[in-house]
């Protein structure tokens, strides 16, 4: 007696189960793909009818009535494929079973890639639109955070070593700006999105040339009409082989990887700042940080973002390899790879963007620690200003420089080797050479953090005004429809 298989006994992609949104999963689902194929066959038949082929309204209406692929259709196609070993022809037969009157004209003049490539491009377009909205939403969430904290000084870093201060909001604006740069390139792809077109087995349209008896104008009108039935304002590639140029997949995966790299950088920054106890990602009331260490509050969302985006970035090589190895007009070694690399990249980035939006919308700033860490380093950064003020008060520049150098080294040793507070300012106040400016060595004057942040506030405000606010106004309805999507797994 055969053992009944449970769904829990079968591998399921964690991207679908734990990360990607239901909307993105649907776009790449088998049912959506095969329903799109039926829409393509309908679009072809309608265009062929409009161009004079003997296709009846009854056949068209029958195809329209059976566009949605049912579970029974999926089972039927699976049975056909076991015999035919060809997924497109399996679905041609399954659709024909649903449409007996139209059966003889389904897929007329087409090669498999007239269906598969246009279907892939339609899925890619839908996925692009969904991701673009999520990138915009994340930019806006970071913008809200940047605006709230635009005047709050914090320690800057280069080489992960203390550097000139900035503000908490200015750093977040930098994150949003880099994501916005990726968005510009992403939207450019949307504006120039191209379908494969209907070109036949090697891209020469020989089958349609025969079908329309060599009438060039009719062939062009057929292709334009079929594409208009599928896409809004369709563009198509000027030349193709059997497939659309596989180098296009390198553009797609590179764009996804670019967004992924920025998300990885933002998440890493938050993880580093979390270690310094300056910023925390949102943390659930009952969330467990560690099974062994109850006190832990790990930045698990940012860690997941890094893991997912690293996966996306490493998929790009697949597209370059595939594009490089398409012999002459096409080989089939692209198919099995693309079935993995393209959908998985979109699903992984979709999940990472949802996570980043959740993080950006709930970031917690620990102001006391931000200030403590800044003030620990600020005396060192203030030494140039202290030197100038002391010289203006009548001191010798070279002599004062040497005294500050010695005091700084001793204060640094105290911090690093003894684990004590930075006492540089106390040392300078006690040195007679700085007695003329001792009254200025306070947080209200030379040591005021706001004196060291440059144009952080102005730069943040300009970014919000010129980038974030127009984005918010332009896509208000779309952004509201996206809502929030923390699946919490």
CB 176 within 8 A of CB 360: no
The token pair that represents 298 in the structure block? 């790990």
Our CA dihedral for 210, 214, 217, 220, rounded to 10 degrees, sits at 30
Rounded Cα distance, 37 and 39, in Å: 5
Residue 290 designated active-site: yes
Provide φ and ψ at 161, rounded to 5°: -120, 150
Cβ-based neighbours of 200, under 8 Å, separated by 6 or more: 109, 110, 111, 114, 206, 207, 208
In whole angstroms, give the CA distance from residue 195 to residue 21: 25
- Closest to 378 in 3D by CA, of 315, 324, 422: 422
User: Is 159 a catalytic site residue?
Assistant: yes
Q: CA-CA distance, 399 to 396, in Å (whole number)? A: 5
β 153-158/279-280 pair status: unpaired
Helix axes 30-50, 57-65, angle to 10 degrees: 170
Q: How far apart are CA 20 and CA 14, in angstroms?
A: 9
HSE toward the beta carbon, residue 395, CA cutoff 13 A: 22
Could you list the beta-strand ranges (E) of 330-390.
364-365
Choosing from 21, 91, 93, 159, which is the catalytic residue?
159
Residues 316 and 331: their CA atoms lie apart, in Å, by: 20
Instruction: Please list the residues that pair with 280 across neighbouring strands.
Output: 364
Among 455, 463, 450, which residue's Cα sits nearest to residue 154?
450
The catalytic residue among 290, 413, 450, 484 is 290
Q: At what angle do helices 71-84 and 30-50 cross, to 10 degrees?
A: 80
Distance in angstroms (rounded) separating the CA atoms of residues 68 and 38 = 8
CA quadruple 125, 128, 134, 135: dihedral sign: negative
Q: What is the CA radius of gyration of the chain?
A: 31
Map residue 255 onto helix, strand or coil: helix
Q: What angle do CA 147, 259, 251 make, to 5 degrees?
A: 145
Return the active site residues. 159, 290
């Amino acid at each position: 007696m055969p053992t009944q298989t449970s769904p829990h006994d079968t591998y399921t992609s964690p991207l679908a189960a734990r990360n990607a949104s239901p909307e993105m999963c649907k776009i790449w689902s088998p049912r959506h793909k095969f329903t799109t194929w039926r829409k393509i066959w309908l679009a072809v038949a309608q265009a062929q009818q409009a161009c004079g082929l003997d296709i009846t309204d009854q056949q068209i209406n029958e195809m329209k009535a059976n566009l949605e692929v049912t579970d029974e259709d999926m089972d039927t196609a699976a049975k056909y494929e076991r015999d035919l070993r060809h997924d497109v022809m399996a679905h041609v037969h399954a659709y024909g079973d649903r449409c007996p009157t139209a059966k003889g004209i389904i897929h007329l003049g087409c090669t498999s890639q007239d269906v598969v490539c246009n279907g892939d491009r339609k899925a890619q377009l839908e996925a692009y639109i969904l991701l673009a909205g999520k990138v915009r939403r994340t930019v806006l969430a970071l913008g809200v955070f940047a605006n709230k904290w635009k005047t709050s000084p914090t320690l800057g870093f280069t080489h992960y070593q203390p550097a000139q201060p900035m503000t908490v909001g200015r750093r977040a604006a930098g994150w949003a700006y880099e994501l916005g740069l990726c968005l510009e390139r992403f939207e450019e792809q949307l504006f120039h999105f191209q379908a494969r077109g209907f070109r036949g087995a090697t891209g020469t349209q020989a089958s349609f040339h025969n079908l329309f008896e060599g009438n060039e104008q009719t062939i062009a009108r057929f292709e334009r009409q079929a594409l208009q039935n599928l896409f809004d304002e369709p563009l198509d590639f000027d030349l193709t082989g059997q497939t659309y140029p596989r180098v296009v997949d390198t553009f797609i995966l590179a764009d996804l990887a670019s967004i992924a790299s920025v998300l990885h950088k933002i998440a890493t920054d938050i993880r580093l700042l979390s270690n310094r106890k300056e910023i925390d990602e949102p943390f659930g009331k009952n969330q467990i940080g560690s099974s062994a260490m109850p006190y832990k509050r790990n930045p698990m969302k940012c860690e997941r973002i890094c893991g997912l985006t690293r996966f996306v970035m490493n998929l790009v090589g697949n597209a370059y390899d595939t594009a490089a190895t398409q012999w002459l007009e096409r080989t089939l070694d692209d198919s099995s790879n693309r079935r993995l690399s393209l959908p998985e990249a979109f699903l992984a980035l979709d999940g990472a963007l949802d996570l980043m939006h959740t993080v950006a919308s709930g970031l917690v700033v620990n102001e006391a620690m931000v200030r403590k860490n800044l003030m620990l380093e600020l005396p060192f950064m203030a030494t140039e200003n202290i030197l100038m003020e002391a010289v203006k008060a009548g001191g010798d520049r070279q002599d004062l420089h040497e005294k500050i150098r010695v005091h700084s080294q001793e204060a640094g040793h105290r911090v690093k080797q003894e684990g004590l507070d930075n006492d540089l300012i106390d040392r300078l106040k006690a040195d007679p050479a700085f007695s003329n400016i001792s009254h200025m060595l306070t947080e209200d004057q030379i040591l005021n953090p706001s004196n060291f942040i440059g144009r952080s506030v102005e730069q943040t405000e300009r970014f919000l005004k010129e980038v974030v606010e127009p984005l918010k106004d332009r896509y208000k309805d779309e952004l509201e429809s996206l809502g929030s999507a923390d699946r919490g797994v």
